[in-house]
Chain A
């Protein structure tokens, strides 16, 4: 076990993949000598060279599109999109090409491209630097989407994404890049399946499902609820597509109440999908409607008011109170 930040864990995970397979390569803007704007690729160009840590022109469609071509020729490209709001110039390549290549080739072609996207708010940045567009991609069949919330998962999930034959988008919670935790680099342990949710805390009164940046918030809310005498189970979803509904449903059957929390706008978000599925699968176990805690239906607001926008401990507790009131 070693202690490291999420950013360092991804760096080490990338290093392990680059060392383990000569066909792995990284591409993105500023990922070379600068090491990426968050230094996630720090030092890798020195170890693996410019052919494998490729500083690209500033062109997201070009980055994703050439990665598709590299994958078709047998390589394992890992693209870095600098910020969440900058993925949209590459949206066409991701949704119309990357996601569908395997299907439209009747299974003859695979495109194992990984796209890393630092996402979410809470860092006081300017517009287009704090968004959570995961639902826009989750709606597209052919893509897989995962999001680590701790360094151990970050270390293993990036490698598992690279090993996956399908395209994988890794949404990295940028405000947690400096979160430290223990990493077992010798074994993924229960993190062996990146598409499986983890129950981080057991409880009996309600379940809170969160992912990425909101996992520490959900855990803190559960601790606060415990002081009020409520036993709250916390699930780290980890995978947004596919979603591990079995773990979520099993928890709801036990607790009878569900709160889903994410930073993305509530409307049309992942929370709605989870609420609908749980109501289909475990309606008779529910003691209350599924509550959603998310962002508002507005463009991500200016940094000076983002605290009012982002779901926090109190917003989760408020939803818990409403659920418990039934």
Chain B
């Protein structure tokens, strides 16, 4: 059996290779996969029996904010790619093409929610108010993290694929227990059941490639077993480096949720309004303790997996062009202009803000200081550890041996 089971663009029927569609039909029986889409590529806002209600919550300011965020993160992506090419970053993981999936979902989260990203969620980080320059610390090689997750409830990037998915479920199980204990304490105190605090949920990101990892399966089993308040957000960007989604799965990824006993929804990942609506629905559902949800954002990684690979080796430019026609920024711009919600001045300002951000990131990256290896000694364990202490003492003595050599060189330089 060949690996080409699913057409890459089955959601709108345009540009689908007939042969691939036929293959998909033969394998799947039903290639027509329902997908939530509200804003079409030509910028027309459609309706949905469930999610239009959520879209209606979005006022002009929020919609402009979505556009500004997407433009900002795309500009950031371009800048980071350039920094890598200039040798300032060891590696970069571009997100271009996935802005709607990330901004739409991230903006649907609440401050009390906790987010576990994989390593491409720069747009989600923006929505969580992470300083984007801090995101670059890991790629600059000055930290294996770079920000304090407790400040934004946005966890560190995880490079081992899918390893963060059970962490998310465990965190959700913790939230679940916190809420139960708070309710019990409130009941014991004679006050109304529950807590004043807003209910929280967890959202975890992973890709179509990572969906093949065992940890995704195990985390979904756990989430289902304990009804954990967690939303699994799969960005199906169609390529696991050079291997297409069709090798990862023979059914739409969203369909897998049914096997675990909770809802799975495929959403047009290039439609920021639909992504926001679906995610808001899913997070509300999780916070209320109704069930976990799997969201498959059907999107496309327009660029390379990382700056280390070359997409021309494994996919055709026609495919990329088909997806560029579904660009998330362009379709929202069309809508905003058509509805009179934004004008040239707005788009000019967005561009200026992007350039300002890029300049900030460029300068901050250059200024990032190389850490002292003593911080690694200090952070290996939370409590004192004799082996670390012994090796640090040796290192200090060894380093001190070079002090005399360094001095004359400095003196010479000063002279």
Interface set of A (CB-CB < 8 Å, partner B): 22, 25, 51, 56-57, 59, 61-62, 64-75, 77, 89, 92-93, 96-97, 100, 102-110, 112, 141-142, 144, 164-166, 195, 241-245
Contacts and interface: CB of A to CB of B under 8 A. Distances in A.
Given A70-B173, A72-B174, A104-B156, 4 more contacts: A92-B163, A106-B375, A107-B378, A242-B387
Contacts of A106: 143, 145, 148, 375, 379
Interface residues of B, number: 46
> Which 9 residue pairs are nearest across A and B when measured between Cβ atoms?
A69-B170, A65-B166, A73-B174, A62-B218, A66-B170, A104-B144, A165-B382, A69-B171, A69-B167
A301 to B, nearest CB: 29
Contacts of A112: 382
Nearest to A104: B144
Interface stretch (B1-9, B175-183, B262-270, B290-298): B175-183
B222 interface: yes
B126 interface: no
B218 A69 contact: no
Contacts of B114: 73
Interface of B: 114, 143-145, 148-150, 155-156, 158, 160, 163, 165-175, 177-178, 180-181, 202, 214-215, 218-219, 221-222, 225, 375-376, 378-383, 385-387
Interface of B is mostly: helix
A226 B382 CA distance: 43
18 contacts: A57-B221, A61-B214, A61-B215, A62-B219, A65-B218, A66-B166, A66-B169, A66-B173, A69-B170, A102-B380, A103-B376, A107-B378, A112-B382, A141-B380, A165-B382, A166-B385, A241-B387, A242-B386
Contacts of A195: 386
Nearest to A241: B387
A62 B376 contact: no
A65 B163 contact: yes
A101 B379 CA distance: 10
Contact of B167 (A72, A102, A142): A72
Given A70-B171, A96-B163, A62 B177 contact: no
A65 B167 contact: yes
A69 B149 contact: no
Contacts of A65: 163, 165-167, 169-170, 215, 218-219
Given A57-B218, A102-B382, A70 B144 contact: no
Contacts of A57: 218, 221-222, 225
Contacts of B180: 51
A22 B173 CA distance: 15
Contacts of B143: 104, 106
A1 B160 CA distance: 48
Contact of B379 (A77, A92, A103): A103
B177 to A, nearest CB: 6
B160 A70 contact: no
A299 B145 CA distance: 38
A103 B181 contact: no
A73 B222 contact: no
Nearest to A112: B382
A244 B387 CA distance: 9
Given A56-B222, A105-B156, A142 B145 contact: no
Contacts of B169: 62, 65-66, 69
Contact of A142 (B160, B170, B202, B381): B381
A321 to B, nearest CB: 33
B86 to A, nearest CB: 26
